[in-house]
Amino acid sequence: MRINRLDLTRYGKFTDGVINFGPRPADGPDLHIIYGPNEAGKSTTFDAILDLIFGIPSSSKYGFLHPYPTMRIGANMHVGGLDHEFVRIKRPQNSLLDDEERTLPDALVRADLGGIDRDAFTTMFSLDDETLEKGGEGILASKGDLGQLLFSASAGLSGLGRQLVAIRGEADSFYRYRARSGVLGDLKAKLQELKQQREALDLQASDHHKLVEERDRMGRLYEEAVGDRAATHKRINEIRRILQVLLPMNRLAGLKESLRLMEVVPEPPESWREELSTLRTKEIEHRVKLQAVLRSIGSIEEEATEIKPDPVALRLASSMDELAELKARFLTAEKDIPKLSARAADLSVESILLQLGRSGEASPTRLVLDAATVGTLRELIGSRSGVDAQRAAAAHEVAKAERALSAGCDEALEANSPLSSQRVRAFELLAATVKAVPRSDEEIPLRSLARRRDAASLTLSGALARLLPWRGTVVDLSLMAGPSPIRLEDWKNAFRQSEEKVRTSRADLDRIEPEVRRLESEIAAVREQAGEIDEASISASRGLRESAWTTHRQTMDAASADAFEAAMRADDHLGSKRLLHAAEISKLNQLLLRRASTASDVQSAEEHHRRALGELDRIRSEVADVVRELAPGARLDRSHPAELEDWLSKRDEALKAKEGLASIEQEIADVRDRVDRSRLVLMNAMTTAGLSFHRDADIAALLSVADEALDAHGAALGRVQEMERLRKERLERQRALDDAERDVAAWNSQWAAVCETCWLGELASVPGPSAANEILAALEKLASAIETKEGLTDRVQKMEKDRAAFEAMVLELCQKLGIAPDRSLSELAQAVVDKVTDAGLNKQRREKLDGELDGKRKEHHDLKLAQELLDAQAQQMIAFFGVVDLKDVNARMDLAARRRELVNSICELENEIVQSVGARDLSEVEVMAVSADRTELEAELAGLTPLLQDQDKRCSEIFHARSKSQDSLDAVGGDSKVAEIEERRRTTLLEIEDGAKRYMELRAGVVAADHGLKLYRDRHRSGMMSRASAAFRTISRGAYREVAAQPGKDGEILIAVSTSGGSKAAHELSKGARFQLYLALRVAGYHELVGNHAPIPFIADDIMETFDDFRAEEAFRLFSEMARHGQVIYLTHHRHLIDIARNVAPSARLHDLEALTSTGRIDVVAAE
């Protein structure tokens, strides 16, 4: 996985931000430094990468600028061998899209993670101060997500630990020591329960017959008791129904009597009651409304007759707008004509002509100059000051240059030091040599190399010491020809397999031999119980009998007869004994077969054990031979392949230490040669330059003499160059003065030509720039005065015309409207407007009254129609009841309602009585009520109630006894019940046997898997520990030699071993050293993972806060090495770390977040 480009489209403080990481370098580390000051967005970028891969959480702290629905991150990533465009938005599901907004599965962007979740990625590959420290010791102990990630996922065993826990839980669910529950305990309890059930069912036949008779007797008694109780209960219910119906029947008779006495009226429709109320209300409402409408019609007609129309004024209404416009112009003219006439009279051009010296000018307009002439004059006036200033400055600079040149010539004469070209070249060679040679004898690098040589020598000595008891030189180690790695690996595999076979065969023997001894003990016990009744004894006895019979037939004497009788009796005795102990004989035969089979297994296991031991001895012998060939006289005891491999790895370490020491010594020799060569080159250059020096001086003294000579030569050369510069400068200043003089002459010529084109040339002398400037100002006043006077005259004439037009229109309108012209024009105009306005208002008022009158007449007509309809409806009701008015109709409707309610009550009561008694109709109930005597019925009910209670109690007792008898018989269940229980018991025993076998298999498998995983973890932890030690040694610049682990109270703890041999636990280190240790573990884990998986980006956010510059440099060195396998991104706000990264990895790429904030995009920038 690699991030080629990160798009911070809408995320946190970023809007349309892009960080372009560029393609992966072809031959350099893929290391990126993202720099930005505080609040520049480093943490936002850090979290954006996580949210891009694993999704934006439901509650994000980066939604303060862009709301959740608009948040968006994008990237171009190399995943699964291909480049993909991904977009992540804020959404609970389906939040991963492609560049065309199509939904993508999250598994696509996480294809190279190998099942790593967000927490594991944060802990391992995305580090800050918190995640760097968290879980450091858990890596080594395989605890936590990071430990499982390193030791399980790296071997392709992801999830194996969880499977082992599930298997162990399955085994514990069957049986766990001192546990109160479990499958085995449940099965044992089930066996005990079945045993108790079998004992309870083991009854005699006589007892079973008694139980059957008792059950039948109780059945007959129960049927009789139930019959008696049913009869009693039926009679009680009849009495209660009769008593319940007596009171409702009396109430029913009263209701019927009330109905008979009530007057009979016709039944009106149901809707009439509501219609009657509405009818009476509307009748009153319509009558009031008719009276109000009639009054309104009379008032409107009276008001309309008082309005008189004016047709003449109405026709003149269209002229009012024109009159208003002319009136406004008239008023303006009345006000402005006197003012404008006064201003025109005040304007005079004579004073301006006097200023110009042209008081007698007949046509002042001739004096006004055109715009082009005025522009040219003003341009020349403005440029005159610049021309004069340029000429004065040029003259000043010429004088200044002449003074400087004179002083320089005096100094050159005093110095009197000529410089030849050969001397200049010699000093140039000397300067280049001084710049090239080192400024010192490199004593500091030599001291550093000497310390490194001493440390390498100590390392070599330690490596040789770890090879004991072998003693020899490094040359001897180099000449050793050890076994090939393939052969060594074959030995290890064969040795491991043989050891496994030895353990397996030994375990088989430990398991089978006790079984053989147990079988022999059981066989002896059975024989002791039943005697010699096995098949061999029977065959021997039968053989003796047949032999005695054969002898008797041959001899036919008393002795042979007695012998045959004794043999036959012994054989018959053995046969009868065999019949008596048939079960024991069968068991004995089975035991003998099992012992034979087990004995065969023992022999096979012993043979396998011997073969495995022989194979181990063979491998040990081969390894021992190789060891003797490697070091004949070293007395090495390395017959185990793993021990030989360990010794060979220590040998390789010693050889590496030897190579390191040789490399340092070569560096020391190179430094000394370089110093000698530089000194010789410097002495030759000084000799060529003619300098005197001591031949035995060191390079620092020689450089001092050379620097002084170079300074003196530089000063002399500078004086010569300064004189040449002053001569060139004087010539340039003189040329500038000549140019300024020519500019002044050209200006005078152009000025005279412009004045000749206008009346200024008519003057006795051409005016200068100042005089011309005043003349132009006066000419501007003259032109303005002439233009203003002409404009005022024109305005007064137009206002006079407006006043005359207004007067004519007002007089014409007054004549048409009959208004006497005895007032001012303004008053007459206002009278015309008022008369026309009144005529318009009267017209509008008359039209409005006519409309209101039509509406009221229509309303009167509608009310009359509605009143006729109401009268017709009222007349229908009055005729129906045969009364006089609506008041009587209301009384009749109330009477009809009461009669209807009474009839409904009678019907409901009759239905209730019939339903409560359960009769067919009311007549049957009436017969029952007439023949009933309430007193006798109550007395009979009082006697039957306690009798029913006694019968209930007797039924319950008899039913209980019958149920108990039936349960006893059901529990016995016949002859098959015991067989079923026995079958269930045997089934339970088989379940216990199968469960026990499964339990043993699971336990053995878990133990074997745990042992294998422990070996694998220890082996891989050793490899990772070596990498971690090397990384920690690099970061600490040799202050700590290695990282180790030792058992502690709660598991293994990390130990940092210093170069001096001291050790500290991880929690005892300073914060900076502890962070460096945990970073070394992460680096080792990263190399462990990229060796088995596709590379994954490694991201760190300012984890070097506690590192000094030297250790930060070494950390970047480790990052550079990691970046050769995968992408490494480091975010920081410390600018000095950029310089450190440049020194370590010149090809590292720098990204500045400040540029992203200003431009919205960061392209790849090389660190150099």
Concatenating the DSSP letter of every residue in 795-806 gives HHHHHHHHHHHH
Q: Please write the tens of the pLDDT for every residue from 473-511.
A: 777 677 777 777 787 787 778 887 888 888 888 887 888
Q: What is the pLDDT of residue 1165?
A: 47
**Positive or negative torsion for Cα 1011, 1016, 1022, 1024:** negative
| Within-domain flag for 569 | yes
| Within-domain flag for 475 | yes
Three-state secondary-structure class, residue 842: helix
Q: What is d(CA 991, CA 997) in angstroms, rounded to the nearest whole number?
A: 10
Three-state secondary-structure class, residue 1128: strand
Pair 676, 710 in one domain? no
| Within-domain flag for 454 | yes
Cβ burial of 137 (10 Å; 0-12, 13-18, 19+) is buried
Number of residues written out for the chain: 1168
Strand order in the sheet with 1128-1132: 126-127, 1098-1101, 1128-1132, 31-35, 1149-1152, 1165-1166
Lowest mean pLDDT among 27-36, 328-337, 605-614, 628-637: 628-637
Those residues whose C-beta lies under 8 Å from the C-beta of residue 635, and which sit 6 or more positions away, are 469
Looking at 631-757, list the stretches that DSSP marks H as alpha helix, in order from N- to C-terminal side. Answer: 641-688, 699-756
Those residues whose C-beta lies under 8 Å from the C-beta of residue 1040, and which sit 6 or more positions away, are 1032, 1033, 1056, 1057, 1058, 1059, 1073
Where does the pLDDT of residue 1050 fall: very low under 50, low under 70, confident under 90, or very high at 90 and above?
low
Q: Which two tokens stand for residue 106?
A: 């999250």
Higher pLDDT, 532 or 1014: 1014
Average pLDDT over residues 222-248: 81
Site of tokens 């042209």? 358
In DSSP terms, 1055 is beta-bridged to 1044, 1065
What letter would DSSP give residue 1068?
Answer: G
Where does the pLDDT of residue 149 fall: very low under 50, low under 70, confident under 90, or very high at 90 and above?
very low
Q: Which two tokens stand for residue 53?
A: 């891969």
Where does the pLDDT of residue 1132 fall: very low under 50, low under 70, confident under 90, or very high at 90 and above?
very high
Site of tokens 């996580």? 50
**Which of 328, 360, 207 has the alpha carbon at shortest distance from 803?**
328
Average pLDDT over residues 234-241: 80
DSSP of 240-300, one letter per residue?
HHHHHHHHHHHHHHHHHHHHHHSPP-----TTHHHHHHHHHHHHHHHHHHHHHHHHHHHHH
**Which of 107, 110, 68 has the alpha carbon at shortest distance from 89?**
68
Three-state secondary-structure class, residue 446: helix
Q: What is the pLDDT of residue 314?
A: 74
Q: What is the pLDDT of residue 441?
A: 52
Contact call for residues 713 and 727 (beta carbons, < 8 A): no
Q: What is d(CA 512, CA 606) in angstroms, rounded to the nearest whole number?
A: 11
Q: What is the pLDDT of residue 586?
A: 66
CB atoms closer than 10 angstroms to residue 290 = 16
What letter would DSSP give residue 370?
Answer: P
Site of tokens 């067919």? 920
Where does the pLDDT of residue 81 fall: very low under 50, low under 70, confident under 90, or very high at 90 and above?
confident
Sequence letter at residue 1023:
G
Q: Which two tokens stand for residue 213?
A: 């008779």
| Within-domain flag for 391 | no
Backbone region of residue 96 per phi and psi (left: phi > 0; alpha: psi in -120 to 50; beta: other values): beta
At 1166, give phi and psi (nearest 5°).
-65, 145
Where does the pLDDT of residue 639 fall: very low under 50, low under 70, confident under 90, or very high at 90 and above?
low
Average pLDDT over residues 12-26: 91
Q: What is d(CA 281, CA 866) in angstroms, rounded to the nearest whole number?
A: 13
Domains held by the chain: number: 3
| Within-domain flag for 1094 | no
Average pLDDT over residues 603-614: 84
* Range among 13-27, 600-614, 1014-1028 rated most confident: 13-27
Looking at 818-933, list the stretches that DSSP marks H as alpha helix, in order from N- to C-terminal side. Answer: 825-881, 886-917, 922-931
Q: What is d(CA 151, CA 1018) in angstroms, rounded to the nearest whole number?
A: 9
Sequence letter at residue 244:
Q
Q: What is the pLDDT of residue 966?
A: 78
| Within-domain flag for 51 | no
**Which of 1118, 1119, 1067, 1114 has the alpha carbon at shortest distance from 1098?**
1119
Q: Which two tokens stand for residue 861?
A: 């007509």
Given a cut of 60, is residue 827 above it in pLDDT? yes
Give helix 825-881 / helix 272-305 axis angle, nearest 10°. 150
| Within-domain flag for 1138 | no
Q: Please write the tens of the pLDDT for every residue from 47-80.
A: 999 999 999 998 899 988 899 989 999 999 999 8
| Within-domain flag for 144 | no
Q: What is d(CA 929, CA 17) in angstroms, rounded to the nearest whole number?
A: 102
Query: Which contiguous run of DSSP H or E holds residue 1065?
Result: strand 1063-1065
**Which of 313, 72, 209 has the alpha carbon at shortest distance from 839?**
313
Percent of the chain with pLDDT over 90: 9
Higher pLDDT, 1145 or 1060: 1145
Lowest mean pLDDT among 880-894, 1038-1052, 1113-1127: 1038-1052
Q: What is d(CA 45, CA 1101) in angstroms, rounded to the nearest whole number?
A: 10
What letter would DSSP give residue 112?
Answer: G
Q: What is d(CA 225, CA 956) in angstroms, rounded to the nearest whole number?
A: 9
Q: What is the pLDDT of residue 319?
A: 78
Q: Please write the tens of the pLDDT for every residue from 355-398.
A: 666 676 667 677 677 777 778 877 877 787 787 788 888 888 88
Give the torsion through C-alpha atoms of 567, 570, 574, 576, to 10 deg.
Answer: 110
Pair 430, 451 in one domain? no
Q: What is the pLDDT of residue 442?
A: 61
Three-state secondary-structure class, residue 102: coil
Q: What is the pLDDT of residue 439?
A: 59
Q: Please write the tens of the pLDDT for every residue from 710-768.
A: 777 777 777 777 777 777 887 888 888 888 888 888 888 887 787 877 877 667 677 77
Q: Please write the tens of the pLDDT for every residue from 284-337.
A: 888 888 888 888 888 887 877 777 777 777 777 777 787 788 778 777 877 777
How distant, in Å, are the alpha carbons of 444, 660, 672, 676 from that of 449?
Answer: 9, 12, 12, 18
How distant, in Å, are the alpha carbons of 467, 469, 492, 644 from that of 649?
Answer: 10, 15, 15, 9
What does the angle CA 85 – CA 88 – CA 94 come to, to the nearest 5 degrees?
Answer: 105
Lowest mean pLDDT among 212-226, 476-490, 945-959, 1091-1105: 476-490
Q: What is the pLDDT of residue 904?
A: 85
Given a cut of 70, is residue 414 above it in pLDDT? no
Given a cut of 80, is residue 3 above it in pLDDT? yes
- Domain span holding position 553: 542-576
Given a cut of 60, is residue 157 above it in pLDDT? no
Average pLDDT over residues 1065-1072: 83
Q: What is the pLDDT of residue 756?
A: 76
Q: Please write the tens of the pLDDT for every residue from 46-56.
A: 999 999 999 99
**Which of 121, 137, 157 has the alpha carbon at shortest distance from 1028?**
137
Q: What is d(CA 318, CA 839) in angstroms, rounded to the nearest whole number?
A: 13
Given a cut of 70, is residue 673 above it in pLDDT? yes
Cis bond upstream, residue 469 (ω within 30): yes
Q: What is d(CA 1165, CA 1161) in angstroms, rounded to the nearest whole number?
A: 12
Where does the pLDDT of residue 32 fall: very low under 50, low under 70, confident under 90, or very high at 90 and above?
very high
Backbone region of residue 126 per phi and psi (left: phi > 0; alpha: psi in -120 to 50; beta: other values): beta
In DSSP terms, 1131 is beta-bridged to 34, 1101
Q: What is the pLDDT of residue 651?
A: 77
Q: What is the pLDDT of residue 497?
A: 83
Q: What is d(CA 385, CA 701) in angstroms, rounded to the nearest whole number?
A: 64
CB atoms closer than 10 angstroms to residue 198 = 16
